[in-house]
Chain A
C-alpha cells in the first residue's frame, strides 16, 4: 500500500526512486496526517483481511506514529520498520519510537523483515532476497566510499 499527503493540493507525490520501485501501485492521497482517519486507507487495510500491519513512512513522530497508535487500539499487530523511517531530529524520532513501543508496536528492520518473509533459502524467490541484500549492502558501501 502506498499513501501520500496533500498531493491533490500541491505537495509532490511519492519520491521518484520509490515510485519506480513500485510500478502500478496506486497511491492513496489524504489530507489527514493520520492515515487511520482516512476512510480509503483504512478500508484498504481492512479489505486485506490481515491483522499484521507493517508501517513505514515519514515522519516517525507524525505519519508513522498516529496510524500506528490507532491501528494498535483497533486490534492490529503493528510492526514499524525502524531503519526505513525518520523524524525531524534523533530526539523526535526516538521518542516517537518509544511512544509506539509503549503502546505495543513491534520494531523491525528492513533486512530482518526481508528474511522473515522469505524464511527458508530452499523456498522459491530466494534469489530475489539475495538481490535485495546485494543492492542494500552495495548502496551502503557506496555511501561510505
Chain B
C-alpha cells in the first residue's frame, strides 16, 4: 500500500481532473428555480451549492 498514488497525465486521463475539465454553471436564477418541479428545491440547492464548492476548491477547474 502506498502513501499516495502518482497523478496521472490529465491529458491522457479518461477520468475528470481539475486540469482536464471545465465546469459551467448555467442559469441558476430565481426565475428558473421557480419552474423546477422534478426535484425538491432544498435538495436541489444542496447539490448546486456543492457544485459551486467544487468550482471554488478546484482552482484549476476553469482556468
Q: Interface of A with B (CB < 8 Å)?
A: 1-5, 7, 11-15, 17-18, 21-22, 25, 35, 41, 45, 48, 50-60, 63-64, 67, 79, 81, 83-90, 92-94, 108, 110-111, 113-114, 116-117, 119-120, 122-123, 125, 128-129, 131-132, 135-136, 139-140, 143
* A-B CB pair tally, cutoff 8 Å: 197
Find residues 5-49 in chain B having any chain A CB closer than 8 Å to their own CB: 5, 7, 15-33, 35-40, 42-49
- Shortest distance in angstroms between B25's beta carbon and chain A's nearest beta carbon? 5
Q: CB-CB < 8 A to A140: which residues of B? A: 43, 46
Select the residue from B26, B48, B62 with max chain A CB neighbours within 10 A: B26
- B16 with A117: CB separation less than 8 A: yes
- Shortest distance in angstroms between A113's beta carbon and chain B's nearest beta carbon? 6
The 10 closest A-B pairs by CB, nearest first: A122-B4, A57-B26, A21-B52, A93-B38, A58-B32, A139-B46, A86-B36, A52-B21, A84-B47, A1-B24
CB<8 Å pairs between A and B, sample of 26: A5-B27, A14-B25, A15-B48, A21-B56, A35-B24, A35-B26, A41-B24, A52-B20, A54-B23, A56-B24, A58-B28, A58-B32, A58-B33, A63-B27, A84-B50, A86-B36, A93-B38, A110-B47, A114-B53, A116-B15, A117-B17, A117-B18, A117-B58, A128-B53, A135-B53, A139-B45
Select the residue from B16, B33, B63 with max chain A CB neighbours within 10 A: B16
Q: CB-CB < 8 A to B17: which residues of A? A: 116-117, 119
Q: Which B residue's beta carbon lies closest to that of A16? A: B30
Q: Which A residue's beta carbon lies closest to that of B61? A: A117
- A56 with B23: CB separation less than 8 A: yes
